[in-house]
């Protein structure tokens, strides 16, 4: 892929990702007033990833920007989910998916971890806020959390049963696109979880897929 084509695709993918994120009930509005900065960070990082320049694709500018915007890990994972979905839609190939996924993993490490429970904000009357209403105001997004690859919504091994059902709906059943997406996740998880055997990885990421009828 030449520089011009990579730049064009980076613009398209970044714009579509931001549109999807803005329409997401769990992520919309978090970049209000910072659209330009987020767009630049996405485009530049995507451009380097599409060109295959591993030494320059560290994801740090994107991670640091999201940190300044005080995004939570879940909100960043929502961005990653939409970004990978758009990359898959444009059929840029498994290598591009792997590079973008690696970039997101590196950027995610730049974000500050959530504060411990005792540091949670309190109400003005001194009582600790009951966060049950906040926790369930938006349904949990069942997204992968590297490096242990647990689910952000239920802490089960990802993809959890809920996410498996969601993926089948999102991709329209057992499609080649879904297999590529899961295969990319498998490769990344295998690097993070060296104790996971090949049969275990295959069963976890691909073994649950319903067999297609021809």
pLDDT, tens digit (0-9, with 9 covering 90-100), for 31-46: 667 788 888 888 888 8
Higher pLDDT pick, 82 / 204: 204
As for how many domains the chain has, the answer is: 2
Instruction: Quote the domain boundaries for residue 144.
Output: 139-214
d(CA 198, CA 204): 10
Q: Is residue 54 part of a domain?
A: yes
Higher pLDDT pick, 211 / 37: 37
The mean pLDDT of 194-205, rounded to a whole number, is 92
Q: What is the pLDDT of residue 132?
A: 43
pLDDT band at 89 (very low <50, low <70, confident <90, very high): confident
Strand partners, 60: none
Whether residues 106 and 150 fall in one domain? no
Judged against a pLDDT cut of 80, whether residue 123 lies above it is answered with: no
Whether residues 12 and 99 fall in one domain? yes
Cβ partners under 8 Å of residue 141, min gap 6: 26, 74, 77, 78, 81, 152, 153
Whether residues 4 and 82 fall in one domain? yes
Q: What is the pLDDT of residue 25?
A: 53
The mean pLDDT of 76-81, rounded to a whole number, is 80
Range name among 50-54, 152-156, 201-205 with the lowest pLDDT average: 50-54
pLDDT band at 131 (very low <50, low <70, confident <90, very high): very low
Helix (H, G, I), strand (E, B) or coil at 173: coil
Please check whether residue 74 is in contact with residue 26, taking contact to mean a CB–CB distance below 8 angstroms.
Answer: yes
DSSP state of 72: -
d(CA 177, CA 198): 21
Outline where 28-175 has alpha helix (H): 35-51, 60-68, 73-89, 94-108, 132-137, 161-170
Whether residues 18 and 95 fall in one domain? yes
Whether residues 19 and 109 fall in one domain? yes
Whether residues 108 and 143 fall in one domain? no
Whether residues 150 and 87 fall in one domain? no
Range name among 89-93, 160-164, 191-195, 199-203 with the lowest pLDDT average: 89-93
Higher pLDDT pick, 212 / 175: 175
Q: Is residue 84 part of a domain?
A: yes
Does this model's pTM top 0.85? My answer is: no
Whether residues 23 and 85 fall in one domain? yes
180, two tokens:
């590529």
Q: Label residue 127 left, alpha or beta by phi (over 0 means left) and psi (-120 to 50 means alpha).
A: beta
Q: What is the pLDDT of residue 203?
A: 93
Tell me how long the chain is.
Answer: 214
> Percent of the chain beyond pLDDT 90?
9
Average pLDDT score, the chain? 75
Residue after which a domain boundary falls, among 113, 131, 148: 113
Judged against a pLDDT cut of 50, whether residue 83 lies above it is answered with: yes
Which candidate, 114, 64, 78, 84, places its Cα nearest to that of 180? 84
d(CA 89, CA 101): 15
Whether residues 157 and 63 fall in one domain? no
210, two tokens:
């319903």
Say if residue 111 is preceded by a cis peptide, omega within 30 of 0: no
Q: Is residue 121 part of a domain?
A: no
d(CA 167, CA 164): 5
In this predicted model, what pLDDT tens digit does every residue of 63-73 receive, in sequence order? 888 888 888 87
């Amino acid at each position: 892929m030449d520089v011009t084509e990579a730049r064009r695709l980076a613009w398209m993918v970044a714009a579509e990702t931001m549109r999807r994120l803005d329409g997401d009930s769990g992520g919309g509005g978090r970049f209000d007033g910072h659209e330009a900065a987020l767009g630049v960070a996405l485009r530049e990082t995507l451009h380097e990833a599409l060109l295959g320049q591993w030494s320059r694709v560290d994801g740090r500018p994107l991670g640091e920007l999201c940190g300044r915007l005080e995004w939570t890990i879940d909100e960043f994972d929502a961005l990653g989910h939409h970004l990978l979905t758009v990359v898959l839609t444009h059929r840029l190939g498994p290598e591009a998916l792997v590079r973008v996924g690696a970039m997101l993993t590196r950027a995610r490490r730049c974000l500050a971890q959530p504060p411990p429970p005792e540091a949670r904000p309190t109400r003005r009357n001194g009582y600790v806020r009951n966060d049950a209403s906040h926790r369930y105001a938006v349904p949990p997004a069942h997204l992968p959390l590297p490096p242990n690859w647990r689910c952000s919504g239920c802490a089960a091994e990802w993809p959890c049963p809920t996410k498996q059902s969601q993926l089948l709906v999102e991709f329209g059943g057992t499609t080649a696109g879904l297999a590529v997406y899961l295969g990319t996740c498998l490769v990344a998880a295998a690097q993070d979880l060296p104790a996971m055997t090949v049969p275990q990885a295959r069963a976890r990421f691909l073994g649950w897929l319903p067999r297609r009828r021809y």
